[in-house]
């Protein structure tokens, strides 16, 4: 019994050793697992390094265009096949093409009915542009923008230069004497603006009544309007 008790620990150790060895994979299993791992890594490296000739050409063209300052869409250089990974697109998409892209500036023509600092600008007929007369911006033409409300349909037959001459006559008439006619002529078109009356409103503002005449190809049209001077120096149409 004493011998059995002495040999028991060694017997248990040998049993545990045999059990552990039996759970380990065999040499053939380890070889197959290692070979599979090698195939996976090799395929991944091939996918990462593989590029078609077209993709290489696109990358070179994008780099050349970026150096020359030309715009080229970055989508043309992003590979769509033979890569098989979103990670490739994020890492290798040519972001420099986005940096050299230029915004497309669109020039928007002014509307026929608009407001500028509280002044209504109404161009029912004729060319539409900013400013008034030979003041080519709204800020410089602020005093006379309201005169656009005095209009006739024949303005549709004028070009911008002719209409600006007519508006310049209106600007001059705003400081002319009563019954003084400011005339203009350009090609087959002509016109005149006259201050017919000067007075004061109930609010104490200076007011003027204007008469406009437009003639195009023998046809004439007249328009009338009354404007009052505001404290800021701009005219306001009170009747047209």
Per-residue model confidence as pLDDT tens digits over 65-102: 777 665 544 444 444 444 444 444 444 444 444 444 45
Structure tokens at 84: 């098989």
Residues 162-201: pLDDT tens digits? 999 999 999 999 999 999 999 999 989 999 999 999 999 9
If you average pLDDT over residues 46-75, what whole number do you get? 65
Residues 108-125: pLDDT tens digits? 556 788 888 888 888 889
- Relative to beta strand 181-186, strand 119-122 is unpaired
**Other CB atoms within 10 A of residue 138 CB:** 17
Nearest-angstrom CA–CA distance, 163 and 185: 11
Supply the pLDDT for residue 41.
80
Parse the chain into domains and list their residue ranges: 35-106, 113-239
Q: Is 236:230 a contact under the CB 8 Å cutoff? A: yes
Average pLDDT, whole number, for the chain? 77
Please state whether the predicted TM-score (pTM) of the whole model is above 0.75: no
Nearest-angstrom CA–CA distance, 58 and 94: 10
Q: Is the pLDDT of residue 215 over 50?
A: yes
């Amino acid at each position: 019994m004493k011998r059995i008790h002495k040999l028991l620990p060694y017997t248990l150790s040998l049993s545990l050793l045999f059990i552990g060895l039996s759970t380990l994979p065999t040499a053939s299993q380890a070889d197959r697992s290692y070979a599979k791992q090698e195939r996976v890594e090799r395929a991944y490296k091939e996918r990462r390094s593989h590029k078609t000739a077209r993709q290489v050409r696109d990358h070179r063209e994008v780099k050349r265009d970026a150096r020359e300052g030309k715009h080229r869409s970055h989508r043309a250089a992003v590979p769509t096949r033979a890569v098989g990974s979103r990670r490739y697109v994020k890492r290798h998409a040519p972001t420099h093409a986005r940096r050299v892209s230029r915004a497309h500036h669109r020039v928007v023509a002014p509307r026929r009915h608009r407001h500028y600092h509280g002044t209504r600008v109404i161009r029912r007929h004729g060319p539409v542009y900013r400013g008034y007369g030979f003041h080519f911006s709204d800020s410089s033409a602020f005093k006379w923008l309201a005169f656009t409300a005095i209009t006739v349909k024949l303005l549709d037959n004028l070009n911008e230069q002719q209409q600006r001459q007519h508006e310049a006559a209106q600007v001059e008439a705003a400081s002319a004497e009563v019954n003084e006619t400011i005339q203009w002529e350009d090609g087959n078109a002509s016109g005149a603006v006259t201050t017919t009356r000067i007075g004061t409103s109930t609010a104490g503002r200076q007011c003027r009544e204007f008469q406009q005449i437009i003639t195009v190809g023998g046809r004439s049209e007249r328009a009338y309007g009354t404007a009052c001077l505001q404290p800021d120096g701009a005219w306001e149409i009170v009747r047209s």
